[in-house]
Amino acid sequence: MKARAKYQTWIRIRKLLIFLVISVILLIVTLLPINLYLRVLSGFLSLPFIYIAFLLSYSVYQFATFGGNYQSKIHDLIVAKVIWDGEGKILDIGTGNGSLIIKLAKTFPNSVLTGIDYWGENWEYSKAQCQQNAEIEGVNERIHFLKASASELPFNDDEFDIVVSCLTFHEVKDRRDKTEVIKEALRVLKPGGVFVFLDLFMDENIFGDEKELINNIKKHGISELNSSKLAEEIKLPKLLLGKKVLGNAMIFDGRK
C-alpha cells in the first residue's frame, strides 16, 4: 500500500489529551460517593476543561483532511497569492510538517525550496517527517529542510524570490518584538520578491496595534503591502472564528 504523508493539524494532540483527561477525572469525581460540596465543586471546575477539550477536538476535526480540511484550504489560499513565473527560490518559515512548502513545490515545478523550522519539543512536527512527506509527494529533490530559528535566519540578504510563513511569527519565543521577526523574513527576500504571511496579526497582545504594525512593515523597504482578514478570504466555521482559534488571523502579502 502506498504510504501517505502525515501533516498533523495545528492542534497539539498532547494538549488535547491533557484537557480530555482532566475533564474525565473531574467528571468521575462528581459521581463518587463523597462530600456533596466536593462533587459540586468538581462539576463546576470541569466546565472550562470540557469546553476547551471540545474546542480543541472540534478544531482538529475541522483542520484535518478527514474533516473540514481547512488547514489544507488555508495553505491553498497562501499558494494562490504567490503570483510568480516560478523560476527561483522559495523559503517557508516555520514549515511544520512541510504541508505548505510541498504544495508550493508542486505548484512551481521549476522552483528550489527551503523549509526552516525550530521543531521544538512542544510541537508534534519534525524534520524527518518533512523529508518523508516530501519523498512521498515526489518533490524531495527540490526541497531542503533546515533547523533554524525565524528570529535569526541563516541566509544572506535578498536571497529568496518568494518568502511565505503560516502561523509561525507569533510562536517565536526568542524575540519579544514580533515585528523584528517579520523584518528578518523580509531581509532575506529579494527586491521585487513576493511575500505572503498569515498570522494572528490582529492580536494586539502579540503584535501590538495593527495599524502601527502595518506602518512599521511598510517602512521596511516594502513596495506593496496588502492586508486582509482570513475570515474575509475564506468561509470558516463559526467556532474557528473565536479569538482563541483563527479569529485574529490576517494575511499580509505584497512585494519588497
Among 55, 113, 139, 172, binds ligand SAM (CB under 6 A): 172
| Least spacing, CB of residue 253 vs ligand SAM, in Å | 15
For residues 20 and 53, the answer to whether their CB atoms sit within 8 Å is: yes
| Least spacing, CB of residue 14 vs ligand SAM, in Å | 14
CB count, 10 Å around CB of 160?
A: 25
Among 149, 160, 185, 201, binds ligand SAM (CB under 6 A): 149
At residue 153, φ and ψ (nearest 5 deg) are -75, 135
Among 23, 59, 62, 99, binds ligand SAM (CB under 6 A): 99
Determine the residue with CB nearest ligand SAM. 96
Say how far apart CA 249 and CA 180 lie, in whole Å: 19
Of 26 and 52, which CB lies nearer to ligand SAM in the complex structure? 52
Half-sphere exposure of 75 (CA within 13 A, CB side): 23
Give SS3 for 193.
Answer: strand
From the centroid of its chain, how far is CA 149? 15
Our finding on whether 94 is near ligand SAM (CB under 6 A) is: yes
Our finding on whether 188 is near ligand SAM (CB under 6 A) is: no
| Least spacing, CB of residue 169 vs ligand SAM, in Å | 9
Our finding on whether 16 is near ligand SAM (CB under 6 A) is: no
Q: In what order do the strands lie in the sheet with 224-229?
A: 143-147, 112-117, 89-93, 160-166, 189-199, 250-255, 224-229
Among 60, 104, 162, 166, binds ligand SAM (CB under 6 A): 166
Which residues of this chain interact with ligand SAM, rule CB under 6 A?
A: 10, 94-96, 99-100, 117-120, 123, 125, 149-151, 166-168, 171-172, 174
